[in-house]
Chains A and B, each alone.
Chain A
């Protein structure tokens, strides 16, 4: 059996860490929806605005921009666009960079 490397699709069960490459899903942990920025001055927010930051998420049926952590690997956080119905992950990219 040869172990010729192949261009792996980035899918749910094999996740492409931007730093380590394709790895098993069991090495990763999920960190919820991406781009939920922490308010700069929480004290000035109403309860409703603070609750919006704490609890409200888009929860789409379809493509979803998420945070993932390569917890049992390089321990780096990165972003991924994942389909919540098919679980396909079509792209992953480092934090604080533009989505490719």
Chain B
């Protein structure tokens, strides 16, 4: 490891780890990040840039990294676009560059760089605008060229979880400010959660040479962390990135275990955090300076260079140029020198600061008032050209260029919740304002870079919070801080150095200063528009390095103050969030509950094909060998007509209604009359919403004096229950009536066909089944096949029918008994498809298939059902002129000329010759249900036609894209056994 220093750093030299990068076997240590391990092996260059395919190296040290986005792991475990600066090194880790074909050193697509002048900002918009539909073609070429990472080749095998977390105070950021605040709150007895994005707490202190009360910074951090860990009311979340701050103290965070805790069964945990008070201590990120060819491998931020030396014992270069416009980079120069590197300082400020004078006294060569205006080196920086204060040029050979253009407070989380950002002229950047209730921003994020000041701010904030929550101050005396690295003091803004060559502002998106100039030339002024035009800050790094730099350049070009240009609002996520974490365990079988009836195993054993109805699995048809759906459905329908068919009807919604006012409730929610329904009788009811549109339908039976059983459609059960509850609670609290959902308590077997009565007799029952004793639309209670049962004599198929309901646990046994007893009658199971076909032959609606929330009973031809005697929900709306319009869509039957042609459902109905001279024809209606009807012996459909009831006999067409016009005749909806002679026997 040629760049590893012999001593120092936090790496565990007794734990070497092997890993590979682009197939090369390499070694690092526990405590390394992938980035520090690569640098230790002398590897800077890790990728090609996304648009111009320029060689790119590691530039940063954390979430700001725009270049080192690598493919980690293999196969289904593979993860795309992982920031090497945040990936903890693990034994056996495999990392791969995403861009660069056939290899990093020689990239065919680097021709884009030569052609850069031909691909300015807005290139994609302008070039790929049209013609319509062509984007899909361009995309096929652009995507692979643009290096978006590789999709894993299988479903994610890793586990994730979601958790809620409630706390009094959440502190985001475990640097000096966040640690101090958490310590003070903890000592005050306030329940605190401290989230830290890095695996190790301490923030900038981890790479600092400062001492606190005489202790090395890292020892001080270790002491504070140990104390916090010992507090029962404090929770530390390491390796946890708080990615979003939403309304009223709701925050989202991702805790990573991958590479952090080898024992963890989960890869990541998604925390949904609600806190009463929020302390934001997000720190700051050093920003670069735009100059020609500022993107070569070996150009890094000064603070990253220092962190690699101090924390990871990696020397990123032996011959360094440090280019700065403020004091903070001087600490980097000292770290480099102490690590054995040669250092030349280029300080753009005309007047030397005390830090410069000190460095000069220490023997460091400083070019005061000079600027780096270009670099050389094809695959790695070889030299930096500087323009001296006197205007002349020098060339400095180097293999590392450490740059500091100042620091940007990480105000993102403050901005997410619409907190105000304030421009700080000394920092030349935005700091968090002070306008969010219950939110305190402290430390560098609030513009306080001095370690001692940050601690004092943190203690003050913690005291205020403790007091408002009823706790005493922790009375902490801030430690004496010595030798702390300077912040960006005495900064003189420097955004763009004049020069020839591409000066990059946003490295991830290859946005150059010239692109911003172009945006302004094209007339864009708002920074929001400039950003969108140039795609500045639109990468996964969210412009952590480039946004403020771009703003500075634009303000300079427009000769106005940056605060007047305005910043964009930062939006979640602060750092990329994996879909796996957001989904958590809600995947596969756990994605949505699956409901099955007590007879489900029977259907499975009979080879049923299922369909989803809401959350229910319902048997759709039962194919025999060689049968397709049409054949199976036809057989099931005819077997029902000729013998007896059996349907599992358990999924139907069932609501038990009891109380003296039960009938009043029914009168108010159904369009028809219920006062005269006798005990033991049942009736079909139609329910509307207040706009007069059909909401649900079903049969309700009267079981006792004040006891009713309502059935609803399978899909509408929950909706109807909620609907009734809402009216009872909000509008009619005076009604003495109780509702209980009993859908799951009863299993229902529906028998249909001429032998259904005989079958129940063979099952054995104490209920008198004679037609005279048990008429159509009645309900009886008794025993069937030894089980307590309710038997309802109804018919949805048009055949003689009985629905036997038994307590759910008897369901499977009842179904078995039915098939045993039904043997002599050719008993046949039928599914929902045959049920749909048979009801259509009878002209019965299916709510949700034939209605869509815009259909009234008048449209359905069911006006006669609407009682004139009483009001009900939605009734007044039926009198509106719109609903009385004679040309409203009306429900009709549609008979195709070809008796075998099944019109596609959803087809539109048009009149006359649809291929007329204008090429247009008005739509007259649409098809809602369409089948081949086995009992009728021909195909027919149901649907809506404008004014359709008066158009019976009219010749129209159904229009389908694939089949073209289908000639048909408008008829009445009902076709089968219009006299009801088959069901009334």
Contacts and interface: CB of A to CB of B under 8 A. Distances in A.
A47 B881 contact: yes
Given A1-B193, A67-B730, A42 B248 contact: no
A59 interface: no
B232 A43 contact: no
Interface string A5-21: 01011011110000000
B164 A24 contact: yes
Contacts of B725: 75, 77
A4 B871 contact: no
B191 interface: yes
B722 A31 contact: no
Report, nearest first, the 6 A-B pairs whose CB atoms are least far apart: A42-B876, A1-B235, A77-B729, A2-B233, A11-B248, A13-B250
A8 B167 CA distance: 11
B233 A4 contact: yes
A36 to B, nearest CB: 9
Interface of B: 164, 166-168, 191, 193, 232-235, 246-250, 274, 276, 469, 690-691, 722, 725-726, 729-731, 733, 871, 875-877, 879-881
B730 A54 contact: no
A41 to B, nearest CB: 8
Given A13-B274, A77-B726, A43 B247 contact: no
18 contacts: A1-B167, A2-B191, A3-B166, A4-B191, A6-B276, A8-B276, A11-B248, A13-B274, A14-B274, A31-B726, A31-B730, A38-B731, A42-B876, A43-B871, A47-B879, A71-B722, A95-B729, A95-B733
Nearest to B876: A42
Given A12-B247, A76-B729, 4 more contacts: A3-B166, A41-B871, A54-B690, A77-B729
Interface of A: 1-4, 6, 8-9, 11-14, 24, 31, 37-38, 41-43, 45, 47, 50, 54, 67, 69, 71, 75-77, 87-88, 95-96
A2 B881 CA distance: 63
A14 B276 CA distance: 11
Nearest to A34: B730
Contact of A1 (B232, B691, B875, B880): B232
A6 B169 CA distance: 12
Contact of B733 (A8, A45, A71, A96): A96
A47 B880 contact: yes
A42 B232 CA distance: 62
Contacts of A14: 274
Contacts of A8: 276
A43 to B, nearest CB: 6
Contacts of A24: 164
Contacts of A9: 276
B163 to A, nearest CB: 12
B726 A69 contact: yes
A43 B730 contact: no
B467 to A, nearest CB: 15
A45 B876 contact: yes
Given A43-B876, A50-B877, A75-B725, A6 B247 contact: no
Contacts of A12: 247-248
B877 A87 contact: no
B604 to A, nearest CB: 31
* Residue from B167, B726, B730 with most neighbouring chain A CB atoms (10 Å): B730
A27 B733 CA distance: 23
Contacts of A45: 876
Contacts of B875: 42
Contact of B247 (A4, A13, A95, A96): A13
Contacts of B691: 54
A77 B274 CA distance: 24
Nearest to A24: B164
A3 to B, nearest CB: 8
A14 B731 CA distance: 26
Nearest to A50: B876
Contacts of A69: 722, 726
A9 B276 CA distance: 8
Contacts of B733: 95-96
* Residue from A1, A2, A96 with most neighbouring chain B CB atoms (10 Å): A1
A9 B468 CA distance: 13
A71 to B, nearest CB: 7
A6 B168 contact: yes
B681 to A, nearest CB: 28
Contacts of B168: 4, 6
A88 B233 contact: no
Given A77-B726, A87-B247, A95-B730, A1 B877 contact: no
Contacts of B690: 54
B730 A77 contact: yes
A77 B722 CA distance: 11
A87 B729 contact: no
A95 B733 CA distance: 9
Given A1-B193, A50-B876, A87 B248 contact: yes
Contacts of B722: 69, 71
B242 to A, nearest CB: 16
A2 B232 contact: yes
B276 A13 contact: no
B248 to A, nearest CB: 4
A20 B722 CA distance: 19
A88 to B, nearest CB: 7
Contacts of B164: 24
Nearest to A53: B690
A9 B691 CA distance: 38
A43 B731 CA distance: 18
Contacts of A96: 733
Contacts of B250: 13
Given A42-B875, A69-B726, A77-B726, A1 B233 contact: yes
A69 B877 CA distance: 26
Contacts of B191: 1-2, 4
A62 to B, nearest CB: 17
A31 B726 CA distance: 9
B256 to A, nearest CB: 20
Contacts of B247: 12-13, 87
Nearest to B248: A11
A42 B246 CA distance: 44
